[in-house]
Amino acid sequence: MADTSDIGRVGKPVVMKIEAGKIREFAKSIKDPNPLYRDEAVAKAEIGGIMPPPTFLMTLAHWDDGDGQPRVPLDTRRILHGEQEFEYFKPIYVGDTLTAVTKVANIFEKTGGRGGTMKFVVMDTDFTNQKGEKVAVAHFTVIETGQAVASS
C-alpha cells in the first residue's frame, strides 16, 4: 500500500508577476510564433493585451526555490509526468500578479507492466489573481515507476 500520509499537505504560496519578457521567452521555447505573445499593440487590439500560452502556468511550479511544491518523497531517477490538466476560468494578462497554492490531492499505487509497481501522486494547484479571482486550476499527476521506463 502506498504511504498516503502526505495527502492534504499544502505548499507555500508562489507569487508571480506575469511579465511580457517571460511570456515571449516561453512562447519561443514551444516554437509558437503567434504575434499575440510578443506584440503588445497587436495583442491589445485582438484580445485586450498579451496573454500567456495555455501551458505557461506550469512555470509557477518552478518559480520559487521549491517550497511551493508540497514534499512527497519520490526517487527523481524514476519519476515521469503522467497527466496534466488545466481549467481556465478568467483571462490572464501581462501585469497580473498570480498566486499559486498547491496541495497533494491523492496518492495511490498501481501494478503496471514494464514499470513494476507504480506510485501516482496527484497535485492540485489553484491560481488566484490580484483581485482575488480564481483564474485557473491545474491537476498534475506524477508517476514513480519501479524502474526506468523507456518507450519507443
* Buried/exposed 73-104: b ≥16 CB within 10 Å, e otherwise: eeeeebeeeeeeebeeeeebbbebebbbbbeb
Instruction: Pick from 4, 34, 97, 130 the residue near another protein by CB under 8 A.
Output: 34
Interface with another protein: number of residues (CB under 8 A): 42
Q: Please give the grid coordinates belonging to residue 102.
A: 498547491
Q: What is the largest CA-CA distance in the chain?
A: 55
In whole angstroms, the minimum distance from the beta carbon of 111 to another protein comes to: 18
Q: Which residue from 15, 26, 109, 120 is in contact with another protein, where contact means CB under 8 A?
A: 26
**Least distance to another protein from the beta carbon of 107, Å?**
18
Considering only residues 42 through 81, tell me which ones interact with another protein, judged by CB under 8 A. Answer: 46-47, 51, 53-55, 58-59, 61-63, 76-81
Measured CA to CA, the distance from residue 55 to residue 96 in angstroms comes to 16
CA distance 101 to 79: 22
Binding site for another protein (CB under 8 A): 22, 25-26, 28-32, 34, 36, 46-47, 51, 53-55, 58-59, 61-63, 76-89, 91, 139, 147-148, 150-152
